[in-house]
Amino acid sequence: MKVTRMCAACREVKEKQQLLRIVKNKDGVVTDLSGKAPGRGAYICKNGECLKKAKKSRALERSLSCSIDAELYEKLEELIANEK
């Protein structure tokens, strides 16, 4: 059985491997490339359009109940660009 999660921006349900995980834990808000880090997690599709939508609508901030730095969005942009 495949594990699915919902994108915080577009709300589509996809397989976990197709999404990036952002986690809020004691270290703050970080990207979780392993998908297994402890803490509150939110998922976003691995495409630029969903990232723009999440940034504009503040979807990740609502999912994680905290503010997100511009640095994290820049890191996510780099990860998405390197996926292709």
Per-residue model confidence as pLDDT tens digits over 29-64: 999 999 999 999 999 999 999 999 999 999 999 999
Q: Which class would CATH give 4-83?
A: alpha beta
Q: What percent of the chain has a predicted confidence (pLDDT) above 90? A: 95
Q: Cα–Cα distance between 51 and 19 in angstroms, integer?
A: 11
So where are the chain's domains? 4-83
